[in-house]
Structure 1
Amino acid sequence: MIIGLGNPGNTYDDTRHNIGWTCTEKIIAKYGTKKYKNKLAFYSEAEISGKKILLVIPLTYINRSGYAVDLLKSEFSIQTKNIIVITDDIRLRVGRIKIKSSGGDGGHNGIKSIISALGSQKFMRIRIGVGEPKNQKEHVNYVLSKIPKEEKIILNESIEDSIKAIELLLESGIEKSMNKYNGK
């Protein structure tokens, strides 16, 4: 299961916080079949690198993403270790990708919600760097602001690299994907 974090509604389109959502929409466009909707998420089934995958975009706000993830994990009998979450990361420079096999929430409330709902940190993450605000007190406004044109070009390349990283991860394992894409 691949989950792209973001907030629902047109207000949040093209914001830094929705980079995971945007990436997952592109994966659905490339690989997905019919798009389904339940009370907590849009989802689509796909085959990527020979593996059947559930692509998920939670319709909850980021801070409540865990509810949707846990519901679909149970409904489709998915093991926690087979979950990949795509999210923004203000601690990474704009465009940098960081793949992890597990870990803490890193201060990200969406990841914190998923860890709480699943009762485990043992799921994979693809973090896409969106940079950080000059003033740390502006953190919320920064991630919820529209992506400037010059950053959008860089982030679109990062989304494409993230999709390739997922393909490699599913085909050859997380280590190969981390070795190739971490630090790019």
Structure 2
Amino acid sequence: MKYLIVGLGNIGTDYHHTRHNIGFDVADAFAAKHGALFRSDRLADVAEIKWKGRILVVIKPTTYMNLSGKAVKYWMDKEKIPVENTLVILDELALPLEAIRLRPGGSDAGHNGLKSIQESIGTNQYPRLRFGIGNDFPKGRQVDYVLGRWTAKEEPVVQQKIDKCTEVIESFASIGLQRSMNNYNNLTFPL
């Protein structure tokens, strides 16, 4: 049983630990929890984790967000991982910071990483873990907000959610999407 875990983000220190890079942060935390190290490979930094009879291939695309689909498609094909065993982790403006949501698919909602993945794999029906980042920004400042860093007040909640997301990934790979959705989609992480 093989799974592809995709943390979305942008490479480079300018983007490190920004809201838009939360997928990278979750991927890093998941790899660290399992003692795995990332190596640079084709279109992504890659870590392989063997866990409970499963192989989890964790990638952080090095293509920049807008071309994430190239990396996802390449690694799905290379590792022969079906779309239902692929989990994409991303930042979500439409969810408050207190929430995470596991979904079987859906629209890209203007998220360039999801748009690229949908174009590359030919479907919007792939599992995703949406990490709520809230939308507390003045009109016209969405880009600054998304590419901005967490506030001191947000940091503890963000860390708590990152830890919980590593658990969600394990759940996805062990009991499946539907049961994991039932277990995690109603959690709240108060500020």
TM category (shorter chain) comes to over 0.9
1:146 aligns with 2:149: yes
Which residue of 2 is the match for residue 166 of structure 1? 169
User: Which structure's residues are more often helix, by fraction?
Assistant: 1
Amino acid at match of 1:59: T
Q: Give the CA deviation at 1:49.
A: 4.1
**Percent identity between the aligned chains?**
34
1:120 aligns with 123
- When the two structures are superposed, what TM-score results if normalisation uses the length of structure 1? 0.94
Spell out the pairing of 1:36-75 with structure 2 (5 A cutoff): 36-75=39-78
Runs of 4+, deviation exceeding 3 Å:
none
Is the 8 Å Cα contact of residues 43 and 71 (structure 2) preserved in structure 1?
yes
Alignment-mate amino acid for residue 52 of structure 1: I
Higher deviation after alignment, 165-174 or 151-160: 165-174
TM-score by length of 2: 0.91
| Equivalent residue number for residue 33 of structure 2 | 30
Measure the CA separation in 1 of the matches of 2:136 and 2:64. 22
Aligned AA for 2:123?
Answer: S
1:14 matched to which residue of 2? 17
Q: 1:164 to 1:137 in 2, by over 3 A?
A: same
Structure 2 contact 44–71 (Cα < 8 Å) conserved: yes
Assess if the C-alpha contact under 8 Å between 2:104 and 2:177 holds in 1: yes
SS of aligned partner of 2:140: helix
Q: Deviations over 1:7-61 (max 9, x none)?
A: 1001111100000110001111122534322241000111234311100001111
Distance 1:163 1:181 in 2: 12
Amino acid at match of 1:167: E
DSSP-derived class of the 1:3 partner = strand
Aligned match for 1:87, one of 75, 83, 90: 90
Q: Give the conservation status (yes or no) of the 8 Å contact 1:32–1:55.
A: no
Structure 1 unaligned residues grouped into runs of 5+: none
Change (3 A) 1:169 1:109: same
CA contact (8 A) 2:137 2:145 kept: no
